[in-house]
Copies of this chain bind each other. A is one copy, B any other.
Amino acid sequence: MAEDAVQNGRQRLADRVRLGLEREIVTGDLTPGTRLDETRLAERYEVSRTPVREALMQLAASGLIEMRPRQGALVAAIGTFQLAEMFEVMSELEALCARLAARRMTPAERDDLAALHEACAPYLASGDADAYYELNLRFHEAIYAGSHNAFLEQETRKIRLRVSPYRRMQLHRPGRLADSHAEHGRVVAAILAGDQELAGRLLKDHVAIQSGTFVDFLATVGGLPDRRPGSARPGRAHPGSARPDQPPKTRHRTG
């Protein structure tokens, strides 16, 4: 996915390190919880610690890693509750994208979206989850772009990037691919028809379903520690219970 940045030898070292780490985290080469030692990273990327630190801070800002003062950086390990929280927001943002796309997409964009959806079908049949994953990503991004709101597009992408390390695990559940594709189909139809509300609702449910299967999966696998993000921000999170009292209301399929 990053071959688009290859040709550019003129980029800052810090960016090269950041992109490299980002890729390693998203693809799962670096699993959540892994400690990131500045010196070793510097050796690995053949640069000094300065650009490494720069990259780490940017990744921390994007939420992919977590930096504890005087204790170094870890690949962010997101707890199940926090993941549920993120999906709650993401489903809403994606729904907004869909609503806006339904009313703002150009005819060309609508054609592209439909084409993208249909291009998924072969991999569905062959059960090639990784290839489907790739196209699925492009499908969702096409909807983001279709919102014609660059800020929204960026924010939504950031959140998707942030949960992607976990997303990967979940794709291989039997039957999920077909369901996902069918859900996409309904979303496409609604967008093409210009039905904002329907498109929004369908996409929201689509994301929420993934959330449900996710949380199920993580919980059964043994779950992740449910620590609060509590990053550098001094602005206190509210004191009391931070969990959603009603996790995704969409009924999700059981494992």
A110 CB to closest chain B CB, in angstroms? 13
Q: Is the CB of A89 within 8 A of B93?
A: yes
Task: From the candidates B12, B19, B104, B145, name the one contacting A245 in the complex (CB within 8 A).
Answer: B104
- Say if the beta carbon of A243 comes within 8 Å of chain B: yes
Interface string of A114-153 (1 = CB under 8 A from B): 0000000000000000000000000000000100111111
Q: Is the CB of A238 within 8 A of B153?
A: yes
- Say if the beta carbon of A5 comes within 8 Å of chain B: yes
Q: Is the CB of A82 within 8 A of B12?
A: no
Residues of B within 8 A of A12 (CB): 69
Tell me the complex Cα distance, A96–B95, Å. Answer: 12
- Say if the beta carbon of A107 comes within 8 Å of chain B: no
Q: Is the CB of B240 within 8 A of A106?
A: yes
Task: From the candidates B15, B85, B89, B92, name the one contacting A232 in the complex (CB within 8 A).
Answer: B15
Task: From the candidates B19, B100, B106, B145, name the one contacting A234 in the complex (CB within 8 A).
Answer: B19
Q: Is the CB of A150 within 8 A of B228?
A: yes
Residues of B within 8 A of A149 (CB): 85, 88-89, 242, 244
Residues of B within 8 A of A15 (CB): 232, 234
Known: A5-B234, A61-B61, A154-B237. A96 touches B106 (CB 8 A): no
Q: Which of A62-86 contact B (CB under 8 A)?
A: 62, 69, 82, 85-86
Q: A100-B244, A148-B245, A150-B228 are in contact. List 10 more A-B contacts (CB 8 A).
A: A15-B234, A54-B57, A88-B149, A88-B151, A145-B238, A148-B238, A148-B242, A148-B244, A150-B238, A150-B242
A195 CB to closest chain B CB, in angstroms? 16
Known: A93-B92, A244-B104. A151 touches B86 (CB 8 A): yes
Listed by A's residue number, 28 A-B pairs whose Cβ atoms lie within 8 Å are A4-B234, A4-B236, A5-B234, A54-B57, A57-B57, A57-B61, A58-B61, A58-B232, A61-B62, A85-B149, A85-B152, A88-B100, A88-B149, A89-B149, A92-B93, A93-B93, A100-B244, A103-B246, A106-B240, A145-B238, A148-B238, A148-B241, A148-B244, A149-B242, A150-B237, A154-B229, A154-B233, A155-B155
Tell me the complex Cα distance, A240–B107, Å. Answer: 13
